[in-house]
Structure 1
């Protein structure tokens, strides 16, 4: 990498650090967190910024003796082999409930990954026609579960790499990814296998499917096991089917020595979420992972890192969760899986009582809404006390404090934490999309813990920026991490320039050891992603403040123009409406270029929307009655009332007149991975939303401006 030397956190002469040897980065209050390097400004560009803790060189590893995730896991097994690692819950049919968490130790997981890896190599040689038993891809297609991790760690132990598929991708994307990577072996959960077999005729490379679930049970009726039901299908499709446990047994009977990866070896081909077009295969190396891991470990503050407990529910196919896993593994901490139903994740949280909660804004918005209903929006004395507690904490943060209070932490936050299963919670991390400042401050106050917002991409191994835990200022993603340097490039067509008054603005560029190697089999896309000096072009527009913190304010390509020539950045507007009105939880704002105003599709918050709609319609609607909620959403009187409420809520915002929504449709759950309108990490697929809701968009424009109250007279 040009213009920056690389260094480790710990020198080679020091012992390999334990979890509690790592000291978190902290910048004195009011001091710069990142600074511009002298002499680095150029026409059309801001200076290069680095974190004040890495001015002399970017961090690439914690310790020179650990340069791959394989070496990191081996070190943890040596030092904390008996510690609990992977936890899961089992379904108990007779009680129709889920068990307490059951754990496998680091040593046990190490044994299983060697068993499975040895068996997998045997299958690759005997049935997949693979003669060079190293550096080939293996697909993983399943929800989060222990076998996902064991497969991934087995691939690392034998110099192989994972091609990860989202559990909700659908057949078209799965077909594209598996054919692009020429995947011959797929490890999948049983529920995904029929989907793959249905398109097997379009998957010429696929030779072996390994089911994470057992294919036979003593309780099966003769001829009715999963293996029996799939046998005819697999035989006609020329694919071999094995269970995970069978492959482990093959390996135990014929163990193969490890073939460890090199730092520049491929760890994974991780496909972008695909908000536009086909997903791109991001080639990430062990070196990328170790640089992100080193930086993330130093930036996040924990008490007793080895005792951390993390809940795993964000998809492991997404790089955000892979980085979380790497941290857990490095610390020798515990990693508990949700039981598979996102809507029931709160039950898993109460059973696990995690200390760290990685999340995304859409879920945190719902957490905020649920807590508000029970606290500050509650009637009577409970609501009054909650509002007083919240305001006290918000005022403290606004005056430079940490938002903590001996009184209110004990009387208010303690109860909130206990009811949610968060009584041991230390840190909430949020990324993947912007979160509003109001939500961030509310969560910090309510849960009395650190809530930090970060920024990263698949191409930067999920890292790049992270707010410092003691910095309670909202609306930024923190300074550049110690493993990356940044600069801004002018975007004159959007009026963003590095010379802007109040701080440089422009497209965010990143460079450092966390940045990916290439897009798989796409040299043209790779070339487009970098400039001539090796800077990765993120496509996000940012502003850098006086302390070196980065504010993501726009997308380079994510804007449109209305008929009068006004440029509109929809994501900013959506965030304003979500933050301003408690009636809605999701938003999609759109403007046709031949139209003069904006329209929107909004998802309701049932707990607040139901009583609101009940008052408008004069009849009771339950928050749990999906049919009644949907019917209310279609009523023109309700639509007008909701828009009026939302317009009042954002009246004091900085939105200009043309940025305000003038007509809307409201729905119970308009954007889900299942209907293909958001990615598995809940990023909106804007082009798909326009296509999906085209009829609604056309109807709103035909109705006209709903704020003028003229629509009912037209009906």
Structure 2
């Protein structure tokens, strides 16, 4: 399809999505919308690749003896590479070795590892031999790992040496786990401990070597076969295993590729270099990697230490930088703080450069002959100096940071929005659209609609723009939650619509804007899911607290809270510390009391197993209790979270300002 054909399909110059032709009017919901560039069909897979193994074969065809997987074999040393053809042989041998160990098509393989070449090779072997990968990761916690291993009845797991002890310590709770494949060097004593626990330890290279002798022919996966069960912490209670097929993941690869080939996204090629540091256990990096592999792109891995990530980037010099707002915010904050610290002429020059390029950006130009060399070259060097494409995902990013990235790096900067349930990316911003504050138009593999949420006063008839819960249907939407039919039915309706739980609105150009959440769950800027009721329940058990409202802005990396003190406990503290007796209202504003509450509650939270990102970083003490009368409690005494956010918005803004 030519660019001229694409232009004629768009109903207006500035419309990025259009209503699906012939869709019926259904009360309580808006009409489905598709990307305006591809309104008549949904893309299923890219040319020549219906499965993730075929996706890899396309990469081999594109790159051949070109670089594929790179690592720094010597600490802080240069990157050492394996080519696509070299990896293809190793993948087949490892898959054959797994088969010889007893794995059959559709058997499960656990992955408990940071990103490494072995991780990718093992995953590709699973794709080739039709095994199902099940990632495990530390941030879910020990209880979640126990749940995942037992729910999937996991027998085999690929593990890095530093995580083996963790699994062996839990072995009495993991009865099905029998074989651990270690990807790197390990202490021989681990073998003795494992043997005593009836667990077999095997080295990655041993499996690969055994598979190369009289190799077993692969029974390749089909598009509708399960590729991965990706567990998400995005619910209360135990995690849910999102079942994603080869077709689901390839649909997003196809969408990105289709848009790229039509000039609307970056086109990954053998000339590109991608740094892989976001966890492969999460679907975001999984799909990123698959997209890079299709184009024959070189993938270099960080050393595993986030404190050395910028050193790895400086050595690798990536052309594509895919990240999350937490890290991109850090780059921005360090630059701005450094400029302010210098002051004087340096600060004036940087501010002038920034404003000059911002004026150019508003006219569609991201380059400047002088300021790019004088003011922004040192900033570009932080990401290796070659970055031409930046993609942010996993959580919302602020307009200010998006504009800064475009200005400082003269790069194409994109933002994607999605969930594990829709294989990472539901909408994405497009090349040439430099407006901020939205998450773009639907991928060309899905269609999107908004349904009314009357309790929150969001409807598809709202003016000036329709609002409602975001629902998505199409080729990237997940199959089911593993062994959870009731939970599946709550999210995936009979017509195939996945209910995201996010509230969105269509802007005047047909782009999606995220404005709220249906459920009491949200993401922080680094992409971690937060269940506020869980945290509030813990804090309200402390004698200092009568009521609690925990809040997290998805553009911020941390939580804040409005606390209604237990007045007796507060007055007791005042007496014990000989504070000046004053009104109860004024006591709630005393810095010493606020500091005492914050320190005490964080210590208490950690003692009650709250993770670091679940601990509040600032508080506001409210002297007036939440009640039915003031509109903050329901008749059954549940917190009206939406109303509480509105009431305390000023205090929330102040708390974030204090910790920024």
Aligned to 2:45: 61
Please give the root-mean-square deviation of Cα atoms over the aligned residues, in Å: 3.5
- Once the two structures are superposed, residues 530-587 of structure 1 have per-residue CA deviations (whole angstroms, 9 ceiling, x without a partner) of 233221000000010121100111111138999xxxxx99445x64xx5xxxxxxx33
Aligned to 1:316: 280
Residue aligned with 1:58, SS? coil
Q: 1:70 to 1:29 in 2, by over 3 A?
A: same
Q: Distance in 1 between matches of 2:87 and 2:298?
A: 12
Instruction: Answer yes or no: is the 8 Å Cα contact 2:406–2:412 preserved in 1.
Output: yes
1:42 aligns with 2:26: yes
Instruction: Answer yes or no: is the 8 Å Cα contact 2:439–2:512 preserved in 1.
Output: yes
Aligned to 2:488: 526
The structure 1 residue matched to 2:375, chosen from 405, 412, 429, is: 412
Aligned to 1:85: 68
The structure 2 residue matched to 1:249, chosen from 201, 209, 234, is: 209
Aligned to 1:288: 248
Correspondences of 1:14-413 after superposition (within 5 Å): 30-38=13-21, 39-63=23-47, 65-91=48-74, 97-124=75-102, 133-215=104-186, 226-227=187-188, 229-274=189-234, 276-300=236-260, 301-302=265-266, 305-375=269-339, 378-397=342-361, 399-413=362-376
Offset, 1:394: 2.2
Q: Distance in 1 between matches of 2:321 and 2:514?
A: 23
The structure 2 residue matched to 1:476, chosen from 423, 435, 438, is: 438
Correspondences of 1:571-586 after superposition (within 5 Å): 571-572=552-553, 575=555, 586=557
Give TM-score, length-normalised by structure 1.
0.74
Aligned to 1:601: none
Aligned to 2:574: none
Aligned to 1:654: none
1:552 aligns with 2:514: yes
Deviates more, 1:166-175 or 1:547-556: 166-175
Offset, 1:231: 3.0
Residue aligned with 2:237, SS? coil
Offset, 1:277: 2.3
Q: 1:362 to 1:669 in 2, by over 3 A?
A: farther
Q: Distance in 2 between matches of 1:207 and 1:117?
A: 18
Give TM-score, length-normalised by structure 2.
0.80
Q: Distance in 2 between matches of 1:274 and 1:330?
A: 29
Deviates more, 1:434-443 or 1:24-33: 24-33
Q: Distance in 2 between matches of 1:401 and 1:494?
A: 38
The structure 2 residue matched to 1:442, chosen from 395, 399, 404, is: 404
Residue aligned with 1:60, SS? coil
Offset, 1:187: 0.8
Instruction: Answer yes or no: is the 8 Å Cα contact 2:564–2:623 preserved in 1.
Output: no
The structure 2 residue matched to 1:515, chosen from 452, 477, 489, is: 477
Offset, 1:400: 4.0
- Once the two structures are superposed, residues 438-486 of structure 1 have per-residue CA deviations (whole angstroms, 9 ceiling, x without a partner) of 1111222122211111101101111110001211111110011111100
Instruction: Answer yes or no: is the 8 Å Cα contact 2:154–2:177 preserved in 1.
Output: yes
Instruction: Answer yes or no: is the 8 Å Cα contact 1:60–1:290 preserved in 2.
Output: yes
Instruction: Answer yes or no: is the 8 Å Cα contact 1:24–1:297 preserved in 2.
Output: no
Q: 1:204 to 1:25 in 2, by over 3 A?
A: farther
- Once the two structures are superposed, residues 222-248 of structure 1 have per-residue CA deviations (whole angstroms, 9 ceiling, x without a partner) of xxxx12x12331122111111111111
Aligned residue pairs: how many?
573
Q: Distance in 2 between matches of 1:701 and 1:308?
A: 53
Unaligned runs of 5+ in 1: 1-8, 11-22, 92-96, 125-129, 216-225, 563-567, 579-585, 596-634, 641-662, 679-683, 708-715
- Once the two structures are superposed, residues 394-428 of structure 1 have per-residue CA deviations (whole angstroms, 9 ceiling, x without a partner) of 2333x44244323322322223202x033110111
Q: 1:591 to 1:668 in 2, by over 3 A?
A: closer
Residue aligned with 2:375, SS? helix
Residue aligned with 1:472, SS? coil
Q: Distance in 2 between matches of 1:212 and 1:361?
A: 31
Aligned to 1:677: 611
Instruction: Answer yes or no: is the 8 Å Cα contact 2:66–2:270 preserved in 1.
Output: no
Instruction: Answer yes or no: is the 8 Å Cα contact 1:310–1:335 preserved in 2.
Output: yes
Instruction: Answer yes or no: is the 8 Å Cα contact 1:351–1:421 preserved in 2.
Output: no
Aligned to 2:527: none
Q: Distance in 1 between matches of 2:7 and 2:460?
A: 31
Residue aligned with 1:98, SS? coil
Q: Distance in 2 between matches of 1:667 and 1:446?
A: 40
Instruction: Answer yes or no: is the 8 Å Cα contact 2:422–2:478 preserved in 1.
Output: yes
Residue aligned with 1:506, SS? strand
- Once the two structures are superposed, residues 568-626 of structure 1 have per-residue CA deviations (whole angstroms, 9 ceiling, x without a partner) of 99445x64xx5xxxxxxx3313346999xxxxxxxxxxxxxxxxxxxxxxxxxxxxxxx
Unaligned runs of 5+ in 2: 522-531, 537-548, 567-589, 626-647, 652-660
1:453 aligns with 2:424: no
- Once the two structures are superposed, residues 135-180 of structure 1 have per-residue CA deviations (whole angstroms, 9 ceiling, x without a partner) of 1000010000011001101111111110111144432211110111
- Once the two structures are superposed, residues 497-543 of structure 1 have per-residue CA deviations (whole angstroms, 9 ceiling, x without a partner) of 11111210110000000101000000001000023322100000001
- Once the two structures are superposed, residues 114-144 of structure 1 have per-residue CA deviations (whole angstroms, 9 ceiling, x without a partner) of 11111111222xxxxx6xx211000010000
Offset, 1:41: 3.5
Q: Distance in 1 between matches of 2:484 and 2:267?
A: 43
